[in-house]
Amino acid sequence: MTVVIVGAGLAGATTAQALRDRGHDGEIVVLGAEDHLPYERPPLSKAVLLGDKEVDSAYVHDEAWWREHDIDVRTGTEVQSIDLAGRRVVTTTGEQPYEWLVLATGSEPRRLRLADESGRPVHYLRTMEDSVALKAALTQDTRVAVIGAGWIGLEVAAAARSAGAAVTVHETESLPLLAVLGPEVAQHFADLHRAHDVDLRLGAPVTSEDLAEADLVVVGIGVSPRTSLASAAGLEVDDGVLVDELLRTSDERILAIGDIASQQHPVLGRRVRVEHWDNAIGQGKAAAATILGAAESYAKLPYFFTDQYDLGMEYFGSVGPEGYDRVQTRGDFSGAFRAWWVKDDVVVAAMQANDWDASDEMRASVGQGPPSDS
């Protein structure tokens, strides 16, 4: 049985490894558009950008590992189309038949025309090359304009300050991370960055005059799922490729995982699309199970983490479109703390910051009643 995986990121790599771990001895072909073996992306905005690790540390496995496990990784190979009836993909180097196809095409940064036309050096952070180039540019006293106060924007701001750069962050919302954390916790991240001399300019769009003050610009305004291949093939797409609890698309022999998968989540009871490291690993393993007939619903809660200055945090669950009624917190925002987002007396999301012994407890609290002593 030939399994073809389109996308050589963490999700695709995990699927291939999980197939071998579960005993699949058929052909596995991983097709990646980049000229790199599969690698993880979180280090690119964290340890690599900070200079704590070399960029090669981001590789999932070295070349010998893929060879020893008889997994055919074809780098620099872009898939141009999918033939559903013929069960084959057409690539820049030829055709490849499949019995199962896994789409793990990931996402790409949203572009900002104002920045691109500013005349300043502009950086987007997605690939190894992006991370290496940006790290080299973050030097002492360089004036850096970061557009977007999401996770990537704030991690870049922290790395830039660690390098001695002068940083201004531009965000249209009134607080960083407001859509994810709400004002109760988002305020803490604003305070954190201001305490490290970041100039936060909130509640207003960035202008060309703003960018004229900078030596370089970093754009971090989110990503878009790469769904054009699936859409052109006729698969059902709506802000992601629609998949069921087993990660199956509208074609019974095609799965979609990672950033592009809009999954009907069995626990949350709604569709979710998660653009984070943990989801890529979890759905990769679940895809292998589906292919091999295990029929294991993917029920893992959304999870993400960040490291900024001396703060490390983990977030479990998802607030969702209906929002939350209140946030309960415990601890000191200047040190270690915990937070629970509560809707109808049920915890829908939980977070720990600098409280690593609490991780399992916080994960288990999602879907339960709120803590009584907060």
- Residue 136 pLDDT more than 80? yes
Closest CA to 144 of 121, 114, 167: 167
pLDDT band at 269 (very low <50, low <70, confident <90, very high): confident
Q: What mean pLDDT do residues 71-79 have?
A: 97
Tokens of 285: 């393993």
Residue 238 CB neighbour total at 10 angstroms: 11
Q: Could you tell me the fold of the domain covering 111-219?
A: FAD/NAD(P)-binding domain (3.50.50)
- Residue 374 pLDDT more than 60? no
pLDDT confidence of residue 244 = 95
Q: What mean pLDDT do residues 216-220 have?
A: 97
Q: What mean pLDDT do residues 119-142 have?
A: 96
Query: How far, in Å, CA of 197 to CA of 200, rounded?
Result: 9
Q: What is the pLDDT of residues 293-307, one digit of tens each?
A: 998 899 998 999 999
Tokens of 213: 């003050």
pLDDT confidence of residue 227 = 97
Choices 2.60.40.10, 3.40.50.300, 3.50.50.60, 2.30.30.180: CATH for 3-108+223-291: 3.50.50.60
Residue 51 CB neighbour total at 10 angstroms: 12
111-219 has the same fold as 3-108+223-291 = yes
Write down the mean pLDDT value for the chain.
Answer: 95
Please enumerate in sequence order all residues whose Cβ is within 8 A of that of 334, keeping only pairs 6 or more positions apart, or say none: none
Q: What mean pLDDT do residues 270-279 have?
A: 92
Question: To which residue do tokens 């790469």 refer?
Answer: 226
**Helical (H) or strand (E) element with 272:** strand 271-272
Query: How far, in Å, CA of 280 to CA of 33, rounded?
Result: 18
DSSP character at residue 58: G
Asked whether the beta carbons of 371 and 350 are under 8 A apart, the reply is no
Enumerate the domain spans of the chain. Answer: 3-108+223-291, 111-219, 310-365
pLDDT confidence of residue 270 = 86
One-letter amino acid of 331: G
The predicted model scores a pTM of 0.93
Terminal C-alpha separation, the chain: 54
pLDDT confidence of residue 363 = 94
pLDDT confidence of residue 36 = 96
Closest CA to 161 of 110, 198, 209, 125: 198
Give the percent of the chain with pLDDT over 70. 99
- Residue 180 pLDDT more than 70? yes
Q: What is the pLDDT of residues 141-159, one digit of tens each?
A: 999 999 999 999 999 999 9
Choices 3.40.50.150, 3.30.390.30, 3.20.20.70, 3.40.50.720: CATH for 310-365: 3.30.390.30
Query: How far, in Å, CA of 138 to CA of 157, rounded?
Result: 10
Q: What is the pLDDT of residues 311-344, one digit of tens each?
A: 999 999 989 888 999 999 999 888 899 999 999 9
